[in-house]
Structure 1
Amino acid sequence: MAIDFRSDTVTRPSKAMLDFMIQAPVGDDVYEEDPTVNELEKYTAEHFGFEAGLYCSSGTQTNQIALKVHTQPGDEIICHEESHIYRYEGGGMMINSQASPRFIRGNNGRIIPELLQDQINPDDIHYPVTKLVSLEDTANRGGGAVYDFNDILKIKDFCTQNNLKLHLDGARVFNALAVNQCDPKVYGKPFDSISICLSKGLGAPVGSVLLGSKDFIHKARRVRKYLGGGMRQAGIIAAGGLYALKNNVHRLIEDHQHASLLEKHFKTVTWVAEVLPVTTNIVVLVLKDATKQNHYIAALKAEGILVTAFGKGRIRFVTHLNISSDDIQKVCQLKLEV
């Protein structure tokens, strides 16, 4: 079987997780009667100090619902220029919310607080109304970079001073917490909403949870419904997420250690110009010869190693719970033709 580094979304549920899913009690979640979904939403919300949660099919859906609830058509959303909500969600910000993005540059996918100054539009009919700031932690396009929590607090202060809401695309937030060692309730406090993926490093097969106030989640539930996201006996898949939260969070540090080993190795490889700083489970190689990107991807595939292109002249490896120490050793011992 190939060693699949393309993403941490490729993880497969363990037998213990599958057994837990099969035994999960279920009901009709649209009627809010699925006990496993209700438990998952309550557990996740309480973990981060929020009033309520909403289980959805994907992180894209939780993000897009949040943007829709926080904004009105014609509003503006401040986000990093490399953010997932803009680059990888099919134009959903513009389609679903009819909102426009205002791009901020920063440091490895993270918004630098000082760059937010003077980014609020004046009260002028010629401009969209600035309404929301969205952060991504960890930052996918930044090689899994983690925010300094003090910077998040500074961004929150900016939002408070300017009457803006603050959303977190926390697709890999547990990877961030494994690094910054911040209490989840303390970490969650600055945000008005958080999207959490269960199907990446945590290893569940399906789903994400959106967190917010009771009123926010009440509105979000309506948006989920008209977007076609209302699920019925969803407890079967929600149970995978519940199992992941209770059993797979502690082991994320192993993925980070594996990624660090890859970083160390690829810094010595002649065809690699640079490795983006590795903090969590994402390793991004910058090639010396960008025109050979497909060549190296194909050469790795021929050796049973799957990776993905990550922009011009870049290759991404993502470690996860189905990547073993032996898999890492195989990559580090591999010699590719330049």
Structure 2
Amino acid sequence: MATARRGGAHRVGILVYDGVKLLDVAGPSEVFSEANRMGADYRLVLCSPGGEGVVTSTGMRIPVDAAADRTARFDTVLVMGGDIFPGRPVGPELLAAVRDLAQHADRMSSICTGAFILAAAGLLDGRRATTHWRHTGTLARSFPRVSVEPDAIFVRDGRFYTSAGVTAGIDLALALLEDDHGDELARRVAQSLVVFLQRPGGQSQFSPSLRGPRPQTPALRAVFDAVAADPAGDHAVPRLAARAGMSPRHLSRLFQSEVGMSPAKYVELIRFDAAKAMLDAGHSVTAAAERAGFGSSESLRRAFVQHVGIPPRAYQQRFRSAYRGAAGEARRGAGDVAPRGFAD
């Protein structure tokens, strides 16, 4: 399947349509184009169901190279997402195009809501898949034969790959690149594009501290901002309540009603995010624990095990070789989901 093993140009078909999200097209395309500048040989072919140019989500018109049913076979096909899905049914012309492409492609991939197109074509029946976190519930309800992974960056099941929203398409393209040419080229491309080569498929799509809504009460927003600005500060509930000008009991009630968690839980999540960022930057576990306000490396270890299932030292080791691990999992057999254990 991979270019490096088979030799010759690796043809990548990019399926677009009216309403396609421009960034879904541009991000993965840049990964393969940058790889070409470093010695790879990917041939990108933009195609649409009827061979006509399309209007993207931004209103920008882009031309295409060919009609989907009048192209030679592709090694990899990328089915792009668009804001129009899942709000409307997938049209018959688009369904026919993706089915035709799937018959002759080694790898079928979708970016963001492109998963709805693959699912509507019946290509994900009995398979695991993901899409943008906002639409995973809709995907599961609309296509009950698809096993939806609601919190994965991307999922591989056999020759089918599905990914979450927008930037996850870049993560998927980097993983495909590594599968073809190894981790060194993937790392060089990531560095050239100034993106993190750190997110394996099972990583959470969003930070735990961002899962709840931002509070409506101004005093509570001030508390949010103060904790985020100084995670290691003294954020005991009485001090937070004094900052907000209310009693600790009232502050706790507001947190539960507007945020869905206690003040202490919110502080822990902010500190966890801060510590993770420090580990990503190369700080030691002890330094990350101290600077993020955990007090001890053991406290940080317990938080990591709770939130991502592995201790911080193991997380840092995976961070350094995340895509090597993701590719290894993918090569071990069909139906694999790239390794879990990261929180975005």
TM-score, normalization by structure 2:
0.31
In proportion to residue count, which structure has more helix? 2
Please say which structure displays the higher CA radius of gyration: 2
TM-score, normalization by structure 1:
0.31
In proportion to residue count, which structure has more strand? 1
